[in-house]
Structure 1
């Protein structure tokens, strides 16, 4: 679907210079001389490279619709992640590099969304939050709970992150997958 160059929004996937790019950041600019344009930061969906482009309203770009399908994570086999479609039980193997740093959050049976373009997987979208158990952290010091200082903790998946001082080993916490940060203690 063709759209005007100034209609690009963050998150849109466009076909540009022979590749698929996602708009990361946009900025409308109206210089003193000349026409207004849209400055767009693009990220390549295949190799992760970045590109800054200017689009004028007279230009058109091809907006790509990605097919999103729900899948369940099964296992990791030497860098190949295996997912299963719950509707037809079809399995797909995806290189761990496609998921990137977020692969550490994958848990057996986790529901994810895989984005496809022409039957080729482009991205794995994890849930916004996951629940992890705190395996190791410093003990709570009495009187320190009122301060806003955080302490390091090791989670059940092996990652280290900062948690509030009232969190102790054995507790389960909710972690943001996008930012790799503590959100809250589970009930």
Structure 2
């Protein structure tokens, strides 16, 4: 039997099962009452890992949740077509397909042969876990204008996946940039 997790012990980035579905905790807030006999409450901002829906829910501190049957499997992004995106499970060498609802915005950061992890629930793939940073080529950006060098000045750059991000003025077409998959922001230039 899976271990039980108390609501008071659920922290940011924890996973737990609620009403038969796996959830990811995006934020947790504990409120302790000042009156005697009041119950400690835990307010969770949580994401359903199957439907991707996000909502807030308040639980009593002693409420218990089972640990979900989640696993992370090393995989490689292969390609996308009209019916979904395809990944190779590195442990079994099987091709796994995910629908647009399952991979979400992950393709904004993926080029062929990118290493990542597949998220599986009860043995079935439900989503992807991107690397923290990816390296992508800049395919289009406006040239910097001489004299437009105020500190912190940025411009738009279109990357090879179609994603548009803000980059410093010195970035030009053909440069390879490091992008955070959590924030979608420029994290550096690859020399």
Tell me the equivalent position of 1:13: 15
1:180 and 2:187 correspond: no
The 2-side partners of 1:3 and 1:171 are apart by 47
Pairwise CA distance, 1:59:
2.0
Q: Is the 8 A contact 1:145 1:166 kept in 2?
A: no
> What residue ranges of structure 2 are gaps of 5+ in the alignment?
none
Among 138, 159, 164, the residue aligned to 2:163: 159
Pairwise CA distance, 1:17:
2.2
Task: Return 166-175 or 29-38, whichever deviates more.
Answer: 29-38
Runs of 4+ with >6 A deviation: none
Task: Return 141-150 or 40-49, whichever deviates more.
Answer: 141-150
The 1-side partners of 2:149 and 2:189 are apart by 14
Tell me the equivalent position of 1:81: 85
> What residue ranges of structure 1 are gaps of 5+ in the alignment?
none
Tell me the equivalent position of 2:34: 32
The 1-side partners of 2:4 and 2:183 are apart by 33
Tell me the equivalent position of 1:106: 110
| TM-score, scaled relative to structure 2 | 0.90
Question: Residue 58 of structure 1: SS of its match in structure 2?
Answer: coil
Tell me the equivalent position of 2:136: 132
Q: Is the 8 A contact 1:150 1:163 kept in 2?
A: yes
Aligned length: 187
Q: Is the 8 A contact 1:12 1:63 kept in 2?
A: no
Q: Is the 8 A contact 1:102 1:178 kept in 2?
A: no
Q: 1:167 to 1:114 in 2, by over 3 A?
A: same
- 1:136-160 CA-to-partner distances (Å, cap 9, x unmatched) read 2121223434521101111122221
Give me the CA root mean square deviation.
1.6
Pairwise CA distance, 1:105:
1.4
Q: 1:51 to 1:152 in 2, by over 3 A?
A: closer
Task: Return 23-32 or 143-152, whichever deviates more.
Answer: 143-152
